[in-house]
Amino acid sequence: MNGKDLYLVMFLISTTLASCNSEAKVEQVAVVPQSSMMADSAQVTTAPNRNNTSLTFSWSTESCTNKGIYNPEDYTEQQLKDTYYLWYKFNSVIELEDATLDNPDELTIENINKKSQKLDSDYNKATNRLKNLKLVPGQFWNTLRDLKTKNLDELYALKKLTIEAYRTPVILVNNSYSQKCQVYVNALASEDSVELINAWESLVEEKMKNNGAPELLKAKFNKQRHCSEWLRYAKIELMTYGWWNCANHQRKYIDAYQNMPMEEEFNKLFIKITEECDVD
Categorize the per-residue pLDDT at 280 as very low, low, confident or very high, splitting at 50, 70 and 90: low
Average pLDDT (12-20) is: 41
What integer pLDDT is reported at residue 44 of this predicted model?
35
Using alpha carbons only, give the angle 262, 266, 267 rounded to the nearest 5 degrees.
120
- Contacts of residue 213, Cβ cutoff 8 Å, sequence gap at least 6: none
What integer pLDDT is reported at residue 176 of this predicted model?
92
- The predicted-structure confidence for 86-116, as pLDDT tens digits, reads as follows 999 999 999 999 999 999 999 999 999 999 9
Ramachandran angles phi, psi of 53, nearest 5°: -145, 130
- Residue 222 is classified by DSSP as H
What integer pLDDT is reported at residue 47 of this predicted model?
43
- The predicted-structure confidence for 154-208, as pLDDT tens digits, reads as follows 999 999 999 999 999 999 999 999 999 999 999 999 999 999 999 999 999 999 9
Is the pLDDT score of 50 beyond 60? no
Using alpha carbons only, give the angle 218, 220, 224 rounded to the nearest 5 degrees.
120
Is the pLDDT score of 61 beyond 90? yes
Average pLDDT (236-255) is: 97
- The predicted-structure confidence for 152-166, as pLDDT tens digits, reads as follows 999 999 999 999 999
Please give the share of the chain, as a percent, with pLDDT higher than 90: 79
What integer pLDDT is reported at residue 119 of this predicted model?
99
